[in-house]
Chains A and B, each alone.
Chain A
Amino acid sequence: MPDFTEPQFDHPPRSAVQAVGAILWPSFFAACVATMVFFAFVDPIALRDQTFPDLPMSRAMGYSVGFFMFWLATAASSLFTWILLRPPSRFNRALPPK
């Protein structure tokens, strides 16, 4: 019979702290850079006037909201990378008993 065994690549599972850190830290870094570059060209007040002119928003709030939006996006991307890099054995389990 042909051998259909897959090569084993599995790294043992990492601790939750490591996983969370590996998701949050690079995304935080990327969000910082993105925020700096973005707001170097865009004034949050001008952006507010174009989008939600009625919102009572200061510059500081604009920078903060912008940063957290960038971080949300980059962290989501990091999370996706983490899911895709998990080896098949983390998913390939028999259905749990009732």
Chain B
Amino acid sequence: MSKKIPLDIVDDAGNSYYVSERKIYAREISGRFQTLRKIAVWVLLGMFYAFPWLEWGGRQSVLFDLPARKFYVFGLTFWPQDFIFLAMLLIMAGLTLFFVTALAGRLWCGYACPQTVWTEIFMWIENAIEGDRGRRMKLDKMPWNREKILRKGGKHLAWALFALWTGFTFVGFFTPIRDLFARAPFVSAGWQWGAWETFWVFFYALATWGFAGFLREQVCKYMCPYARFQSAMFDRNTLIIAYDPMRGEPRGPRKRGLGSVLERGRGLLDKVTAYDYVFRASGNAVAADAAAQAHGITGMAEFNPVREPLPKFAPEELGDCIDCTICVQVCPTGIDIRNGLQYECIACGACIDACDEVMDKVGYPRGLIRYSTQNAIDNRATHVVRPRVIVYGLLLAGLFAAWAWGVTHRAPLIVEAMRDRNALYRIAEGGEVENGYTLRVVNKDDTARTLEVTVDAGNGIRLAQGPFEVKAAPEEVLTLPVILRGPADSKGAVPVRFTVAAADGSVSKQVESKFFGPM
């Protein structure tokens, strides 16, 4: 066994730059984490499909009314002027992602990302119609016959229906969904949807079908920005899905009846040997990196690993990994978690459930693959509270406080004063100077108000018509042409202040502008 095996082994496709993506047939698995994922899928997709149908205060609970430029979210109404709150909400979502990632790794990917959540549903449908992993692989190899056409056709029909319902629901967030449903094809006569409604229903359906049915893990591997930068938030104290090489290596099949490493007293390997075995078993670059680190070498530049073949181990030397490769078969992104943390890992926990099941079967303790931190795996202390966690946490708390205060203390009235653009001023009869303005008054409340408009300025400048009252219906936008009149000797620019106040004194808003006379 002295012959050296070159490191860059490639698969059958050769080292071509154009290798089509290997199709992944993820084996289905059940277990603790898959149950959690199912719950997450039901809760999140349940929210997506149910919210537009819920009524809240006589209105659709979540409605992004683009034509009216108003967003309704459970009794809160957001106007274009409230854009800042939406932006803050997005920033907070980003910070939450950082915070959670630093603490617990890629929880987002495994449980909450729409891509993985919808993929999960599509895989359930596929599994129900085409059968389990073995059957699906057989079906793909099979020549086209009646069964294959029926199964594949049935799957695509089910996918298409589900995707269309998804597209319909998506549009239902922007157009009142009950009305959209009443006008839907097959529900009403003829085609009553508008061109853009139709387009977006089908576009979103097509995207769902393509992303969840075909692209799947490739979205995470090649399209997702988060997958590319999440590692920046990781350190050795972050929860990751990790394989314990000290316990598992050297891997290998064995006869029944061999106890686990602890039962038979082999114990855990030292780090250097364990990571070395992982690298020698797989030749993977991450494993090589980990092996180098265990040796105390940092940076790949100074480390040129030679992949020595593994010797044949006696049964009592073997670690707890029986090399059944079930952890690889269940992986939706098709990686081998035993090589170490890889950016492809979406932290779904399927390999944990799979390995636990296998460990139960062979009578070994669970947790050969487990949720853990790199420090814990390497038998060091894990620190939960660390500078980055504190910084993210403080930023998040501060931003949330500001947002909550801002949203609950929004002014119920918006007043803008725009000077008429045509002329700076004009001379009225009797030599007095006049300036024209347009007041835009928005009553953001859902109650009607009577508003009083006054002006506050020096130099004898006054409203031409005198202070006046207007009625504003709930959520009404008023456009009020207003003329200010000043004495004949008005000169230059004079600051003026319009005040719009509710007659009952509940709200009042002031806005500044300028009054121009001859220079």
Residue of A nearest to B416 (CB): A53
Partner pick for A91 among B323, B343, B418, CB 8 A cutoff? B343
Verify A8–B229 contact, CB threshold 8 A: no
Q: Decide yes or no whether B298 CB sits under 8 A from chain A.
A: yes
Partner pick for B9 among A5, A9, A80, A91, CB 8 A cutoff? A5
Verify A3–B9 contact, CB threshold 8 A: yes
A83 to chain B, nearest CB (A): 5
Q: Decide yes or no whether B502 CB sits under 8 A from chain A.
A: no
Verify B228–A83 contact, CB threshold 8 A: yes
Q: Decide yes or no whether B120 CB sits under 8 A from chain A.
A: no
Please, how many residues of chain B have a CB less than 8 angstroms from a CB on the other chain? 46
Verify B228–A86 contact, CB threshold 8 A: yes
CA distance A94 to B341 in the complex (A): 7
Verify B418–A95 contact, CB threshold 8 A: no
Q: Decide yes or no whether A7 CB sits under 8 A from chain B.
A: yes
B331 to chain A, nearest CB (A): 10
| B residues near A80, Cβ cutoff 8 Å | 225
Verify B323–A1 contact, CB threshold 8 A: yes
Partner pick for B13 among A2, A7, A83, A95, CB 8 A cutoff? A7
Residue of B nearest to A79 (CB): B225
CA distance A7 to B293 in the complex (A): 24
Partner pick for A84 among B9, B15, B228, B418, CB 8 A cutoff? B228
CA distance A84 to B344 in the complex (A): 13
The 0/1 profile, CB within 8 Å of A marked 1, for residues 12-49 of chain B is: 01111101000000000000000000000000000000
Q: Decide yes or no whether B235 CB sits under 8 A from chain A.
A: yes
| B residues near A53, Cβ cutoff 8 Å | 418-419
Verify B298–A96 contact, CB threshold 8 A: yes
Name which of B10, B19, B221, B290 has the most chain A CB atoms within 10 A of its CB: B10
CA distance A91 to B225 in the complex (A): 12
Verify A83–B229 contact, CB threshold 8 A: yes
Q: Which residues 425-467 of B have a CB within 8 angstroms of A? A: none
Report, as a range, how many residues of chain A touch the other chain.
20 to 34
Q: Which residues 304-358 of B have a CB within 8 angstroms of A? A: 323, 325, 328, 334-336, 340-344
Q: Which residues 79-98 of A have a CB within 8 angstroms of B? A: 80, 83-84, 86, 88-89, 91-98
CA distance A80 to B323 in the complex (A): 38
Given known contacts A7-B19, A84-B223, is B286 in contact with A93 (CB within 8 Å)?
yes
| B residues near A97, Cβ cutoff 8 Å | 236, 293, 298
Q: Decide yes or no whether A41 CB sits under 8 A from chain B.
A: no
CA distance A89 to B229 in the complex (A): 13
| B residues near A96, Cβ cutoff 8 Å | 235-236, 298
| A residues near B334, Cβ cutoff 8 Å | 4
| A residues near B17, Cβ cutoff 8 Å | 9
A42 to chain B, nearest CB (A): 17
Residue of B nearest to A3 (CB): B11
| B residues near A84, Cβ cutoff 8 Å | 222-223, 225, 228
The 0/1 profile, CB within 8 Å of B marked 1, for residues 63-77 of chain A is: 000000000000000
Verify A89–B10 contact, CB threshold 8 A: no
Q: Decide yes or no whether A43 CB sits under 8 A from chain B.
A: no
| B residues near A94, Cβ cutoff 8 Å | 286, 289-290, 292-293, 340-341
CA distance A6 to B344 in the complex (A): 12
CA distance A3 to B336 in the complex (A): 11
The 0/1 profile, CB within 8 Å of A marked 1, for residues 184-202 of chain B is: 0000000000000000000
Q: Decide yes or no whether B129 CB sits under 8 A from chain A.
A: no
Binding site for B on A (CB under 8 A): 1-9, 49, 53, 80, 83-84, 86, 88-89, 91-98
In the A-B complex, the 6 residue pairs with the smallest Cβ-Cβ separation, listed nearest first, are A94-B290, A94-B289, A91-B343, A92-B286, A7-B10, A7-B19
21 A–B pairs (Cβ distance < 8 Å), ordered by A = A1-B325, A4-B334, A5-B284, A7-B16, A8-B8, A49-B421, A80-B225, A83-B225, A83-B229, A84-B228, A89-B285, A91-B231, A92-B343, A93-B289, A94-B286, A95-B234, A95-B236, A95-B341, A96-B235, A97-B293, A97-B298
